[in-house]
A and B are shown apart, each in its own frame.
Chain A
Amino acid sequence: MKKEKDSTYLFSLKEDSNFIAFLPVGNYYIDENFKNISQNPNGYYGSIAPSDLLIYNKKADEFYYIKCLASGSSKYSKEGIEYDLYFEIYPPIMLLDNKLNPKYYFFDTEEDGDINLAYYEILFFENYFQINSFAQKERKKINIQDLKFDDLEEVCTKETVLIKKEYFKYNKIDIFNIYNQKMNKQLLPHFPRVEN
């Protein structure tokens, strides 16, 4: 099959009766690694392996994308690339529908132990998409990582208040990176509205 630019490949890591864990890897990443092998066929040790996760919930028919700190290691040999994977959750955790459209980004607003859960709700329309920001009214000191996948949406969206609504025009946006782009101010609202 002809390789497409900027495609994401999903490698299945583990499957049980409820979940399938995938490792999303960009084709540019694999290409770069194989280029290193060809340049150094006697073996080379890298320091970083892909570490983000895409989890499919069979019962709920939805996905969770979990950002993890880049870690793990890769070893190049004549046979190919060997990755030792290591995952350390780095919120947000994104909930996607069965067509991989993002619905919610769940995250903590503080990291000092006084944790308040917050989330973005992402709504897609024909000509634009909308991000609604919510935060819990009271701090409940719930760590997002201590929740179960099936309880994530219910716990995070309970007793919240709408902070703001933002509207964005469609552009070439990697759906797995909306949160990062928003934090880095690369994704700016096209037509911000202020609630009365």
Chain B
Amino acid sequence: MKRLIVIFFLTNSLSFSQEKTIREFVSELNLTKLVIKDNFIFSGNILDSKLECKNYYY
């Protein structure tokens, strides 16, 4: 019985964020502090947020 209770709590905590509303999820991010140091180096894959320019007409 004790083992069952432990499993329940683990499962419950794993799916916790899925039970939150969008408002609750976003409000938890408030007051987050982000520091970008001046020696910050841009690295990794750059995500291009532009659609490719195509000169086609429909």
Query: Could you list which residues of chain A lie within 8 angstroms of chain B, going by C-beta atoms?
Result: 1, 3-4, 6-11, 13-14, 16-19, 21, 23-24, 27, 30, 33-34, 37, 49, 53, 55, 59, 66, 68, 78-87, 89, 93, 100, 126-128, 144-150, 152, 167-176, 190-191
Contacts and interface: CB of A to CB of B under 8 A. Distances in A.
B43 to A, nearest CB: 6
Given A13-B34, A148-B21, A148-B22, 19 more contacts: A1-B42, A6-B50, A16-B16, A16-B17, A30-B36, A37-B38, A53-B26, A82-B34, A84-B32, A85-B31, A85-B33, A86-B30, A87-B29, A100-B49, A148-B18, A169-B57, A170-B51, A171-B53, A172-B51
B17 A93 contact: no
A9 B46 contact: yes
Contacts of B48: 4, 7-8
A146 B57 contact: no
- Interface of A, secondary structure class, is mixed
B3 interface: no
Given A53-B29, A89-B22, A173 B34 contact: no
Interface residues of B, number: 43
**Centre residue among B33, B40, B58 by max chain A CB count within 10 A:** B58
15 contacts: A1-B44, A7-B49, A13-B29, A14-B29, A19-B17, A55-B25, A80-B38, A86-B31, A144-B22, A147-B22, A148-B20, A150-B18, A167-B58, A170-B54, A173-B51
Given A127-B54, A144-B22, A148-B20, A176 B49 contact: yes
A85 B30 contact: yes
A7 B58 contact: no
A168 to B, nearest CB: 8
